[in-house]
Amino acid sequence: MRFQVIMEKTLDDLMSIRRTILLVLLGTALTVLLVGGLSGIDADMSLEMQTQTLLDYFTLFVFLWTSGFFLTMAVATTAAGFISKEHDEGTLLILVSKPINRFEIVLGKFLALVINSLIIQGLILCLSVLSLWGILSLDPYTVQALLSLLPWVFLYSVLVVLVFGSIAVALSTLMRSRVKIMLILMVIIMLSFFIGIVPRAVFPDAYETYYLCYADLGYHLGNTYVLLLDQSGSWGMMPSNQIMMAAFTGTYPFSPEGSYDPDIGSWPSSLELTNYVQPLVSLALWVVVSIAAIALSGFAMRRKEVY
């Protein structure tokens, strides 16, 4: 297929040694610093408590940073200039004059982005676990528990790359200004990870009554993340960190004072999901968004005036 030529050329550009090392080091260093520094692992803790605490902080910061803000920003900044930059530099005219379908140009660049992002993400996740093992002198049982989560965390990363990559490629096809593209992408990223906190905390009744959850990008990300992590079957987030997920995503009820059971003098073993939307529905919505964005990219590319 002819799109492979575009994919291989784009992938070759993205896999530069300097860029790869920079992204891997940045992603790994922040993950290890946040998880290792804030988890508060104590030698006096039981092995089970050490493992549970580390898993909690690892999954939380992977969601917010490694597979969250860091990954989405890396994907956005990479894809923002895929088509717009080619147009500005005059190379798009040469590209479309070749015997290749315009949609294949979009598809080749998008697949190169996905492959490159997932290679880097896989390296970051593996190096993060190995670094935590070495720095914190973790027990093999704890390391094994972390490794058992990696396939599911990586699968979630695949979804993030597909969604935000497809949106970035679509914007790059529709617009020429990379500044405007990045501004729009920044708004989408902020909506996904931070801005949704406001309506959930300030207008909790309206949030549920008027089905604002359907437009809450962060909720659907958190809902999908929890769904995939549950498939590991060997981990359950503690209520203290479920409340953090509640604040950022709304997947759990954000009511710490109501979750504490005074009769038993402790937290329950786990908080119930809010279930505003079934997790599988959230996953399906993200898949639909990704497919629609790529379809829009192909449509816009076919109609694009190149000069």
Task: Tell me the whole-structure pTM to 2 decimals.
Answer: 0.90
* CA dist., res. 95 & res. 102, Å (int): 9
pLDDT in tens, 78-117: 998 888 888 777 777 778 777 788 899 999 999 999 999 9
The whole-angstrom distance between residue 145's C-alpha and the CA centroid of its chain comes to 21
* CA dist., res. 244 & res. 151, Å (int): 23
pLDDT at 33 over 90: no
* CA dist., res. 246 & res. 273, Å (int): 9
Question: 246-282 burial string, b = 16+ CB within 10 Å, else e?
Answer: bebbbbbbbeeeebeeeeeeebeeebebbebbebeeb
pLDDT at 179 over 70: yes
Single-letter amino acid, residue 83: I
**Among candidate residues 193, 204, 196, 195, the one with its CA nearest the CA of residue 254:** 204
Single-letter amino acid, residue 142: T
C-beta of residue 19 within 8 angstroms of C-beta of residue 119: no
SS3 240: helix
* CA dist., res. 20 & res. 22, Å (int): 5
Q: Average per-residue pLDDT in the chain?
A: 85
Q: What percent of the chain has pLDDT over 70?
A: 90
> What's residue 171's pLDDT?
94
Residue 146 Cα distances to 223, 230, 277, angstroms:
21, 14, 28
Q: Which residue in the block uniquely carries the two structure tokens 């992590």? A: 229
- Read off the pLDDT band of 258 (50, 70, 90): very low
State the Cα angle at 287 between 239 and 27, rounded to 5°. 60
Provide the sign of the torsion angle of the four alpha carbons 216, 218, 222, 224, taken in this order.
positive
Q: Which residues contact 256 (CB under 8 A, 6 or more apart)?
A: 243
> What's residue 102's pLDDT?
86
